[in-house]
Amino acid sequence: MNPFDLTGKVALVTGGAHSIGFSLGLGLARAGATVCFNCSNPSSLHRGLEGYKVAGIKAHGYIADVSDEDAVGAMVARIKAEVGPIDILVNNAGIINRQPMLTLPAADFRRVIDVDLVAPFLTAKAVLPDMIERGHGKIINICSLMSELGRETVSAYAAAKGGLKMLTKNICAEYGGANIQCNGIGPGYIATHQTAPLRERQADGSRHPFDQFIIAKTPAGRWGQPEDLIGPTVFLASPASDFVNGQILFVDGGILAYIGKQPQ
């Protein structure tokens, strides 16, 4: 028996129409899961469905604001009716607002908290009753290096991701006895289209200053790729991790283990 086989499992990936979420959806599907993904608007839904189709995967897409409790409940109920009860939840949807604290309006701070922390609470709350009734379930929260470290201009994001780390541990504490495993993945700096401008070579051929900073802080000497997150996600979604609970698995190329290069 393959302990990483997800055949027969229904997975929901929030924010799964593009970027990291899309890659995680592909990985779960290729491990055998039936993949449902959430997005926030029709254009993302269309793009996601087309992307999965091109990859040869029949995915199920749903539009919902994951920070709205009623919308989340309706989405989960619809997935249950159309596809089946959710066995695997990947809380991936997230936003960031890069501003110094002193210029960040409280409303913008709250919006980041709503999407990055309240939404995972709501989606977990919505899927847990069926998981408890069926006696198994996997919840994977996409945390961050900012669950452990601070950096300039990301106060709301760091606060939300730190909270998500502790929500992960608390779901484990409350529902581990029901054979539900809740773990987190903490991506390092991942090469996506959003970070592409930070990785472009400068006119003189040198690295962008932020690119230099990341490479110098990463023992692996490179940015991560979305595909680097697939293996850890499949592991945490599969029977291979049935005795792993309340943990945050950092997929960061070693950043958290490294103090930096000694000056020459």
Amino acid found at 15: G
Ramachandran region, residue 67 (left: φ > 0; alpha: ψ -120 to 50; beta: rest)? alpha
CA distance 74 to 77: 5
CB 239 within 8 A of CB 176: no
Determine whether 62 is an active site residue: no
State whether the Cα torsion 200-189-164-147 is positive or negative: negative
Q: Which of 157, 175, 189, 258 is an active site residue?
A: 157
- Of 255, 247, 248, give the one whose Cα is nearest residue 217: 255
Kindly state the tokens that stand for 244.
Answer: 């792993």
CA dihedral of 125, 92, 181, 229, whole degrees rounded to 10: 180
Q: Give backbone dihedrals phi and psi of 132, rounded to 5 degrees, phi first.
A: -65, -45
- Of 80, 10, 17, give the one whose Cα is nearest residue 49: 17
Which are the catalytic amino acids? Answer: 157
